[in-house]
Amino acid sequence: MFYYLFQYLDKQFDFPGAGVFQYISFRAALAIILSLLITTVFGKRLIEMLRNMQVAETVRTLGLEGEKQKQGTPTMGGLIILSAILLPTLLFARLTNVYIILILLSTVWLGLVGFIDDYIKVFKKNKEGLAGRFKILGQVGLGVIVATTLYYNQHVKTREFYKPEEVSTEFIKEHNLQPVLIDNQMMLAKDVHSTTTTIPFFKSTYFDYADLLKFVGESYKDYNFLVYLFVVIFIITAVSNGANITDGIDGLAAGTSAIIGVTLGILAYVSGNMVFSKYLNIMYIPNLGEMVIFAGAFVGACVGFLWYNSYPAQVFMGDTGSLALGGIIASFSLMVRKELLIPILCGIFLIENLSVVLQVYYFKYQKKKHGIEYAREHRLFKMSPLHHHYQKSGYHEAKIVTRFWIIGILLAIITIITLKVR
């Protein structure tokens, strides 16, 4: 909103300083500051309100250290995170930008699914919360929206560049190439509507999901949307569930998400900037730079939430926060065309997910082969997800979280390095 206000003031009245709102970096900084203020200052009031409403977490008895102290801790703190993301974005971002609209929808959509789950747990006294099939339905629904928008919306494009001396006059006319000045160098460019993505570790190699269906024949591109839809649904479901599972000990999900958010913000900035994208030889995506404002609000919200969520937690984010965080990260990765980097960037979520899957299947295997008693005594992990395994092994919560953060930072650095290591 402020972007349009100060743009008007600058054009109509030459208002002093109004032009600074044209800069993405300035608005991103304001988004970070405001989101931090919302989480730290107003977060305290919301926590008190949740406590007065007895919106408390019912901690399951798992034989873990510190369980008794956590009984009665307010939950649904994800409302703090969502407020600190949405308000700064609405104030400082360009609201006509298709990427901003889509990421705001993703935030609200899975935030609402998580809120319903927490509401059932807290107010309906149903420990199971929202049935799993309805959670999956919500994730699939968001996947359909994201895939349809990115595939069909004409404002979602990438820009291809050509050196004038490398193309013929016929090619220029056929493809309607337009001259563009980049870092004092004249280039020819055209905007392309496609679902290509970046293959990490390979130079100038882009992958189109339609290529997976080449075996069908010449008409394989007719089924491109179905392949893309499946991929998007899988990514959103996997990442949102990964974030949800990771939210098991104080500060783990929020801190890990903040690290991922910083990385995604960097990727959005360089991919949405013609000079940097040319220098790094990566895909340039027009209008994507606006997502840096959202990334700033996202990081500020996660870091600010740690003020109350770090050990010992004064509030839990609940599914309201964790499902939304995962959905945001997945949708953001798809918009910046770096979804193939998710196994690296979201490595913490991945290993947490895998630990649960491996634990279940290993137990079933041992049960079938040796019986139930043997399977119970010879589990793959002492408890899953993985962070509970380390708790059972005698590590303190704070140490587990800190070490997971360090691993998350290393994975984020590796992700950024892939921009040059190709």
Q: Is 29 helix (H, G, I), strand (E, B) or coil?
A: helix
The low-confidence residues of the chain, meaning pLDDT below 70, are 6, 8, 10, 57-69, 204, 217
Residue 198 lies in a domain: yes
How far apart CA 343 and CA 350 sit, in angstroms, is 6
Among 195, 198, 192, 194, which residue's Cα sits nearest to residue 178? 192
- Return the pLDDT at 221: 72
- Return the pLDDT at 167: 80
Q: Which two tokens stand for residue 262?
A: 């910083």
CA angle 422, 243, 248 (to 5 degrees): 130
Half-sphere exposure of 95 (CA within 13 A, CB side): 13
Residue 311 lies in a domain: yes
What one-character DSSP code corresponds to residue 313? P
Residue 388 lies in a domain: no
Residue 405 lies in a domain: no
pTM for the model stands at 0.92
Residues 6+ apart with CB under 8 A from 122: 55, 56, 75, 76
Q: Which two tokens stand for residue 307?
A: 């003020």
Residue 93 lies in a domain: yes
Residue 234, classified by CB atoms within 10 Å of its CB into exposed (0-12), middle (13-18) or buried (19+), is middle
Q: Give the DSSP H or E segment for 158.
A: strand 158-162
Give me the domain span that covers residue 199.
26-157+193-341
Which tens digit of pLDDT belongs to each residue from 30-41? 999 999 999 999
Residue 398 lies in a domain: no
How far apart CA 60 and CA 78 sit, in angstroms, is 20
- Return the pLDDT at 161: 82
* Strand partners for 158: 192
Residue 335 lies in a domain: yes
- Return the pLDDT at 86: 96
Residue 410 lies in a domain: no
- Return the pLDDT at 417: 92
Q: How many domains does the chain have?
A: 1
Give backbone dihedrals phi and psi of 56, rounded to 5 degrees, phi first: -110, 150
- Asked if 322 and 76 touch (Cβ cutoff 8 Å), the reply is no
Q: Is 39 helix (H, G, I), strand (E, B) or coil?
A: helix
